[in-house]
Amino acid sequence: MRITSKGFVNKDQEVTFLFDSKPYKGFVGDTVASALLANDVHLVGRSFKYHRPRGILGIGSEEPNALISVHKGGKIEPNIRATTQEIYEGLIVTSQNSWPSLKFDALAINDILAPFFSAGFYYKTFMWPPRFWEALYEPIIRRAAGLGKLESEPDVDNYDQNFAFCDLLIIGGGPSGLFSALLAGRAGLDVILVDENPKLGGRLLFENTIIDGNHCSDWIQSCLGELKSLENVRLLSRATVFGIYDQGTFGVLERISRHIQDSESDGVLDCFWRIVASNCILASGAIERHIAFGNNDRPGIMMASAVRGYLNHYGVAAGTSISIFGNNDDAFNTAYDLNSAGVEIAAYIDSRSDADIQGDFPIFRGAEVYDTGGRLGLEHICIRDEKGEHKIQTDCLGVSGGWNPSIHLSCHTNAKPEWRNEIAAFTPKGQSVSGLIVVGSANGHFTTSGCFQSVYEALNELLKSKGRKIKRKSYPIASDLEYNISPLWAVEG
């Protein structure tokens, strides 16, 4: 449901789109995921093998569940994440992996027959008669196993390619990336900043953090205003760095017209960039991780940071009665923002018995969610604490098992990660790759102030090596909480 007092979407521009042939309303700036949640739609797909109901889990490119097909210009493109596809007037999208419908999927019987479906069972079961394999068995198995449907006609879209060179490539447009670009741009370096999202700002787009006395959204706008005024800084949004190669070469895919109607497009769908950089700042942030417990895959079970992000950025409450389950301090930010917006919190469950948290909603310390209930969506959760077991009615559960730094790109260069107990996660091991500097959450700094400090120190060293100086005496100070975690990987049933 919409929270009218929250969000940064353009509520003056309403948009109509189709999901499974049914019209829904959203606003310019919404994604398919945020618009569906605003319309109280949680069931968006079915799981790969057992066809269990699937809902929206995350808020960005990390989304594993909400895969849809986009119908545009007479063709179908499968496996697009609903969390990244922006809506526009006339957009047509469909769910995948269900028949005859999403709510009634005949192959959901696989979930009941799961004990008989061991991995690769069909290679041993469907061996006789041999001629049936190609004529009958294989077509049925492939149809059941596939996700989405590929076009049989040639691709008629236009694609472009481009080349660029710079002193410093910054990967990630969050607080660390923006602050890096600001310091490097002021020092006169030729900078290219690349971010996969439509808007720059990273996690700050989803938060209420105060930076140097101002709301983080004001800090973002001030930062972008200065960066756009610098001729030596180029900003690329909707662009994903997918690979690091020899001699400082980076592969980038920019999405040009996937967010607009055909009539508004210049004919180019995507652009492939080859960027060669003398140095690179990896500010790719971190991804929140789930906790394993019984039936933790029902529609309505989401990452806690995603619940917070849909509220603060899109003005959408992911449920009418929301519960939070976490093992770290960041989970409380979600409960605090929901409570401040007037959204009912059914329960806050913290696995730490000594968690220092307060709120005017039910709090369970030293507790765990061990099971959930519901058919096509979450209806209740089962929790366990020292007082026994409890069943709580709730239609949304935000889960936070901690954060994993996004170190994928550093691993492309054989940089081995190292385990850090204090954050219960892997980070890149020192400066193991020449010319690549990892900062912010990607390097295990999970507070905004910590991100700024890591950038300031890294850029100071980089600019010194180039005979330049930082034109700022200190880094910004943010109001966010310290990050403390007590690892919890799985809950026994």
Residue 142 burial by CB count (10 A; 0-12/13-18/19+): exposed, middle or buried? Answer: exposed
CA 482 to each of CA 68, 162, 356: distance values in angstroms, whole numbers, following the listed order: 37, 42, 12
- Residue % of the chain over a pLDDT of 70: 94
Task: Say what the pLDDT of residue 115 is.
Answer: 66
CA geometry: angle at 372 spanning 330 and 288, to 5°?
25
Query: Does this chain's domain 10-145 share its CATH topology with 158-286+430-465?
Result: no
Residues whose CB is less than 8 angstroms from the CB of residue 103 and which lie 6 or more positions away in sequence, other chains included:
43, 376
Give the model's confidence band at 267: pLDDT under 50 very low, under 70 low, under 90 confident, else very high.
confident
Return the closest-CA partner of residue 413 out of 282, 238, 289, 288. 282
Distance CA 39, CA 58 (A): 17
End-to-end CA distance of the chain: 32
Give the model's confidence band at 185: pLDDT under 50 very low, under 70 low, under 90 confident, else very high.
very high
Is 0.95 topped by the overall pTM?
A: no
With contact defined as beta carbons under 8 Å apart, do 111 and 50 qualify? yes
Residue 42 has pLDDT above 90, yes or no: yes
**How is residue 465 written in tokens?**
């090596």
Give the model's confidence band at 105: pLDDT under 50 very low, under 70 low, under 90 confident, else very high.
confident
Distance CA 368, CA 346 (A): 15
**How is residue 410 written in tokens?**
């550093």
DSSP, residue by residue, 224-287: HHHHHH-TTEEEE-SEEEEEEEGGGEEEEEEE-STTS-GGG--SEEEEEEEEEEEEEEE---EE
Phi, psi of 436 (to 5 degrees): -105, 120
- Of the two residues 130 and 377, the one the predictor is more confident about is 377
- Residue % of the chain over a pLDDT of 90: 73
The 10s digit of each residue's pLDDT in 314-365 is 999 999 999 999 999 999 999 999 999 999 999 999 999 988 888 899 999 9
What is the C-alpha radius of gyration for the chain, rounded to an integer number of angstroms? 24
The 10s digit of each residue's pLDDT in 275-314 is 999 999 999 999 999 999 999 999 999 999 999 999 999 9
* CATH code given to domain 10-145: 3.10.20.440
**Buried residues in 437-475 as b, exposed as e (16+ CB within 10 A):** bbbbbbbbbbbbbbbbbbbbebbeebbeeeebebeeeeb
Helices (H), 202-359: 216-229, 304-314, 330-340
Q: If you average pLDDT over residues 20-27, what whole number do you get?
A: 96
Helices and strands per DSSP (H, E), number in the chain: 11, 28
Give the model's confidence band at 24: pLDDT under 50 very low, under 70 low, under 90 confident, else very high.
very high
Tell me which CATH homologous superfamily contains domain 158-286+430-465. Answer: FAD/NAD(P)-binding domain (3.50.50.60)
With contact defined as beta carbons under 8 Å apart, do 461 and 481 qualify? no
Residue 199 has a CB neighbour count (10 Å cut-off) of 15
Domain boundaries, the chain: 10-145, 158-286+430-465, 290-400
Q: Kindly state the helix (H) or strand (E) to which residue 159 belongs, with its residue range.
A: strand 158-171
β-pairing, 286-288 vs 380-385, is: unpaired
The 10s digit of each residue's pLDDT in 61-83 is 999 999 999 998 778 899 999 99
Residue 484 has pLDDT above 60, yes or no: yes
- DSSP strand E in 283-320: where? 286-288, 301-303
With contact defined as beta carbons under 8 Å apart, do 438 and 320 qualify? no
Distance CA 378, CA 54 (A): 11
Q: If you average pLDDT over residues 429-453, what whole number do you get?
A: 88
- Of the two residues 411 and 449, the one the predictor is more confident about is 449
Cis bond before residue 129 (omega within 30° of 0): yes
With contact defined as beta carbons under 8 Å apart, do 235 and 193 qualify? yes
User: At residue 150, what is the residue type?
Assistant: L
With contact defined as beta carbons under 8 Å apart, do 60 and 197 qualify? yes
Tell me which CATH homologous superfamily contains domain 290-400. Answer: FAD/NAD(P)-binding domain (3.50.50.60)
**Sign of the dihedral through C-alpha 80, 83, 88, 93:** positive
With contact defined as beta carbons under 8 Å apart, do 425 and 327 qualify? no
Q: If you average pLDDT over residues 376-400, what whole number do you get?
A: 96
